[in-house]
Structure 1
Amino acid sequence: MTYIGRFAPSPSGPLHFGSLVAALGSYFQARSQHGQWLVRIEDLDPPREMPGAASAILRTLEAYQLEWDGEIVYQSQRHSLYQQQINAWLSQGDAYYCRCTRKQIKQTGGFYSGTCRELKIQDSHGCAIRLKMHHPVYQFDDQRHGVIAIPNPLADEDFIIKRRDGLFAYNLAVVLDDIAQGVTEVVRGADLIEPTGRQISLYKLLNQPCVSYLHLPLALDEHGQKLSKQNHATAIDDSNPRPALIAAMNFLGFDIPKQVLQATLGEILQWGIENWQICQLPDTLEITPRFSNESR
């Protein structure tokens, strides 16, 4: 089977060091398998998007010579497909309208208990749509970290597939898109371990073969917080990509020879493809990057 991987950033800001790590990890894994590497813009949440961020992300990938295969897919152009699947589940009784607010759920322990599951609510106004959990997943196999357990309350929960504000949920869109694009393995940051069980349950409900998963360590700042756009992580430099590229490769466990450090960007990437091994990845799921003189 042909390997198909992907990098799927959200356009809530420019790429930072943590997102470069995710891009490189998925890129090296795909290219080392002689597979395809796709790019998808996950623009599901307009209120959180930064104007021009999607184009800026693509320019950054080009500056770092991370060449993708095929056309860019934008989730904002796929709403009708998401709604079609939701409508099918509603008509089959596999999904239902839910009036419960986040505050109410928090007051009852923080996990949704199925309050609206059998109420057969017909008025969708002010409601989220939840999917009945038919296939709870309590653990999954990660390519680097082995068996990862998922807490029972979370695994058993009927989760939201369309929000109260009318926006489609990440778990729904990512699985439908990965299936449509033929993705065979998902390589991403460890911050997305938690929803993995829900996504596997969707594959089961849809009678589709599940992808394999590889979760990369999260890059933390000096305060122990995840480098993220929400935490105002610094954008990586498009005009001088070498330092961040080398630092990200070191973060991913490469021991780069001095002669390779002096090579062109394309040659460094090719060396990375030829020497990539999953076993080189750190055991830990969170790391504070250390930048060497060569990477600055």
Structure 2
Amino acid sequence: MSTSAPELMTPGKGRGLLDVFRNRYLLRLVVDKEIQIRYRGTVLGLLWSYLKPAVQFGVFYIAMGIFLELNKGLENYAIYLFSGIVLINFFGEIFGNSSRSITDNGGLLKKIYLPRQLFPVSNLFVALVHFVPQLLILLIACLASGWHPNFKQFLCMIAGCVIVAVFALGLGMIFATFNVFFRDAENFVDMIMMVATWASPVLYLFTMVQEKMPAWFYYIYFANPLTVAVELFHYGFWLPSTELWQHWHVPAHLMTIWTPVALLIAFGTLFLGDFLFRRYEGNFAQEL
């Protein structure tokens, strides 16, 4: 009686992100480990997820809202500013931590085999643990300002979160791969995170770019998924909390063209990140 032999697989290689869904229990353990390590020995613990964005918001609000007087020229500038900060911090935490996830767990990777994708993906869920409380604070501020969103704006909020999460994870997996072989990659990650806040309309209005820069630059500006995601958040959170609904100029083709383009770029980045990660993960242990 003949039996078919099981399919042989190259040692040290898996099925990419599919292995994450097939190892949900391991993913939960890795997420718990990341949270425990991050706050080990701290006094405030998870309160840091409130304190850091609060200080960041305070600095930017004083600099941009008071000194540059954007607070006077824009209704509910505090909500406008905080909605962008919340989203850009979400991007920065996923991207920064996932890009270092393989080198930070090098000791574990050299001892046992487990799907390497668990480490960058776990940082996405850790970032969500910090993102949700900040989002609740934003919602409370919006409700206190008379927030009245419609169904379309709820969809825009969800689309903004999806764009940032997918794009940041894709970039994180790309740089996590590079970081194993070239430690200079961490410096590029730091520069990208530094530029990200200013390369999107977090602190200022998108109309300033439209007025001051040539048309070709404006199109490149909106080809950045973070720019689209931030404007989707402004459209969903900030605009319904103001009286500007009738005459505020939402970016042209935001939902019809730029959002599909941003989703395409985000998922394309994730596909590229997963491809590179799978291509080189067999060499991670020996390089580390």
Question: Where on the TM-score scale, by shorter chain, does this alignment land: which range?
Answer: under 0.3
TM-score for the superposition, normalised by structure 1: 0.27
Of structures 1 and 2, the one scoring higher in RCO (CA 8 A, sep 6+) is 2
Q: TM-score, normalised by structure 2?
A: 0.27
